[in-house]
Amino acid sequence: MKDRVNRIAFLVTLALLVTAPWLLPALGYDYWLDIIAEIIIWSLFAASVNLLFGYVGLLSFGQALFFGMGMFGVAIGVAKLGLGFWPALGFGMVVSVTMAAVAGALAVRLTWHYFAIITVVFSLIFYFIALSAKPITGGDDGTSFSMPPILTVGEFELSLTDPTVQYFFILLAVGSAFYLKYRIIKSPFGMALMAVRENDVRASLIGLNVYFLRWVAFVVAGGFAGLAGCLFALFGRYASASYMFYHVSGEGVVWTIVGGAGTLFGPAIGTALLIIVREELSNVWEHYPILVGVIVIVTVIFAPKGIAGIWNTMLDRFASKADESPPPAEPAPTPAKSEAGS
């Protein structure tokens, strides 16, 4: 029952996302298409936080570093190096993954709050480097660029300047990343990561290389954050050092906790909820972050597994009640006629 309900909920959500470019204008909410695209991108960023925190047990406040590297990789590739769409996207991914590999080689030697601190330090170092390297990054002003076409065939040109094309490109890229994350979680590698999360000492005793597993997870999470940064740069045609600051990583952690750490789509749920709260309240109440703080506090106290945890608990209860319900009574057998009375 639980799997069936989750499958139906996923298919309904997917159908709404696919039809959004036509459904929202019909309802008079055209501007929400860009907001949904932004939610989808930030959901991938939160998923990168969740891969480390929810499945490896490492709380990272440095994912903004890889997000920013992806942004600047695309922006510098187009604006400074004259690259096309796909080479610039690939350049952004290479830069972010390389940075994750280098930073992770040092960071995953530590655990608990030491790991969190060193990820903050990495983020701050490269944040200030990005601000000071004005000829390359634009400093405080950032780097803007014109969108190169995705595909050009004769006079036909496919570009993200078309809002519908941009939306579906983002949806396809993020959907592919979530599918890859799902395959990772369900693989033996994912099982090994969860073993390390539960008890790294016992995991090492059964022959698992804890350092290598954490490092690979760190690099993969950095790749997810970097892809989110690449997509966000293409979405806004802009890259800024402000997105490399550790408070951006903090938002990813909050989205993950509210949605549900250790679940596939929990971070996406938390991201959607808190961004919608921001969009709806920011224009009418300037102190809307207070409400966000209240939501986080209430979630941590009363629902430590997040919204996805509440949902799964409800489904488990309904399933257990259905299993405990008595089976329907069988009809009483009709008495057979005796041979004497026949």
The mean predicted confidence, pLDDT, of the chain is 87
CA 309 to chain centre: 17
List the pLDDT tens digit at each of the 342 positions of the chain.
Answer: 677 888 898 899 999 999 999 998 888 888 899 999 999 999 999 999 999 999 999 999 999 999 999 999 999 999 989 899 999 999 999 999 999 999 999 999 988 888 999 999 999 999 999 999 888 888 888 889 888 888 887 778 888 888 899 999 999 999 999 999 999 999 999 999 999 998 888 999 988 999 999 999 999 999 999 999 999 999 989 999 989 988 899 899 999 999 888 888 889 999 999 888 888 887 777 777 788 788 888 888 888 888 888 888 888 788 777 666 555 555 555 555 544 443
Are 192 and 203 a contacting pair, CB within 8 Å?
Answer: yes
CA distances from 226 to 69, 99, 256 (A): 7, 10, 17
The dihedral sign for the CA sequence 318, 182, 176, 214: positive
Angle between helices 85-107 and 210-236 (to 10 degrees): 150
pLDDT digits (tens, 9 = 90+) for 284-341: 777 777 887 888 888 888 888 888 888 888 887 887 776 665 555 555 555 555 444 4
Are 225 and 70 a contacting pair, CB within 8 Å?
Answer: yes
CA–CA separation, 248 and 57 (whole Å): 20
Q: Count CB atoms within 10 A of the CB of residue 265.
A: 22
CA–CA separation, 56 and 252 (whole Å): 16
Nearest alpha carbon to residue 32 among 230, 280, 220, 208: 280
**What's the angle, vertex CA 271, arms to CA 268 and CA 272, rounded to 5?**
85
- Residue 157: strand pairing partners: 152
Nearest alpha carbon to residue 76 among 188, 296, 230: 230
Tokens of 309: 């945890």
CA–CA separation, 227 and 253 (whole Å): 18
Are 1 and 315 a contacting pair, CB within 8 Å?
Answer: yes
Give the pairing type, strands 156-158 and 151-153. Answer: antiparallel
CA 318 to chain centre: 29
Question: Which residues, 6 or more positions from 261, have their beta carbon under 8 angstroms from its beta carbon?
Answer: 50, 53, 54, 267, 305, 306
pLDDT of residue 339: 46
